[in-house]
Amino acid sequence: MHRDLIGFVASPVYSGEATPFFMALKLDIINTALRMVGSYHLDRLDDGSSTYEITSAAFDQAFLEVFGDNIFGYNKKRSKLTGTEILNDDDFSFSFTIPSDLNIYIKAVNGEGCIITDYYTEGATLLCNYPTLTVYYAYIPTDLATLPAYLNKLICLHMAQSIALELSGSENRSTDLQRQYIRALSRARVLSARQGPAQEYISDSTSKFITARRMYGKV
């Protein structure tokens, strides 16, 4: 018995830390996207222009969709959890607090290194019969400084293809940028796959984990 933790956390707004360095990187990404659509660049953020409002919203959406719907080596992590013993429960013996930044569940491994399949979730709590777990998952990153170049380009292209028609009025440019984004996404998955070995998943071909892997293009 289990319920998959796919998209468990999904913030409606990308929430990077608003430090001067972060804001400078955000401005650079926005201006790169604007150059792609043939629009003028911004000298500063929050300048009150309609262009800023459009691109700022596109920036947030790009992070949420690129990292919310995909798993790259960059946005994978693991968390070791210690369970709390449950009394008077006929099904499960331990409860765990699900990591608050979990966006796409990959797998959970017990203390003996075995992938668990017998678990259940209630709200932000995972229930199972093992005292310790290591949960592998994907999250939506907030640190622009360490963003690899190929993912930086992917974010810029996602932004550009989403704002091209509104800012340039050109359907051809919009279509071309959409195609570039699809190619860049495929390349990002390939480059990410080269960073480490493939993830191990339970072998049951009917498992929702396998379905999720195919759905989200895990690499």
Q: Per the structure block, which two tokens stand in for 6?
A: 């796919």
Q: Per the structure block, which two tokens stand in for 11?
A: 């913030």
Q: What is the DSSP string of 2-21?
A: ----BT----SS------HH
Taking a C-beta distance cutoff of 8 angstroms, is the pair 81, 110 a contact?
A: no
Phi, psi of 137 (to 5 degrees): -160, 175
Length of the chain counted residue by residue: 219
Taking a C-beta distance cutoff of 8 angstroms, is the pair 199, 105 a contact?
A: no
pLDDT tens-digit readout, 186-204: 999 999 888 765 444 443 3
Strands 125-128 and 76-82: unpaired
Which pLDDT score, from 0 to 100, does residue 195 have?
72
Separation of CA 90 from chain center: 36
pLDDT tens-digit readout, 132-184: 999 999 999 888 888 899 999 999 999 999 999 999 999 999 999 999 999 99
Give the model's confidence band at 9: pLDDT under 50 very low, under 70 low, under 90 confident, else very high.
Answer: very low
pLDDT tens-digit readout, 92-109: 999 999 999 999 999 999
Residue 118 has pLDDT above 60, yes or no: yes
Which pLDDT score, from 0 to 100, does residue 193 have?
86
Give the model's confidence band at 15: pLDDT under 50 very low, under 70 low, under 90 confident, else very high.
Answer: low
Q: Cβ of 139: how many Cβ atoms within 10 Å?
A: 19
Amino acid sitting at position 5: L
Helix/strand/coil percent split, the chain, to 5: 40, 15, 40
Strands 76-82 and 132-138: antiparallel
Amino acid sitting at position 130: Y
Give the model's confidence band at 207: pLDDT under 50 very low, under 70 low, under 90 confident, else very high.
Answer: very low
Q: Where are the beta strands (DSSP E) in the chain?
A: 76-82, 84-85, 94-97, 104-110, 120-122, 125-128, 132-138
User: Which pTM was predicted?
Assistant: 0.77
Q: Per the structure block, which two tokens stand in for 156?
A: 């810029």
The residue whose two tokens read 């911004």 is: 42
Separation of CA 184 from chain center: 16
- Report the DSSP beta bridge partners of residue 81: 133
pLDDT tens-digit readout, 49-96: 999 999 999 999 999 999 999 999 999 999 999 999 999 899 999 999
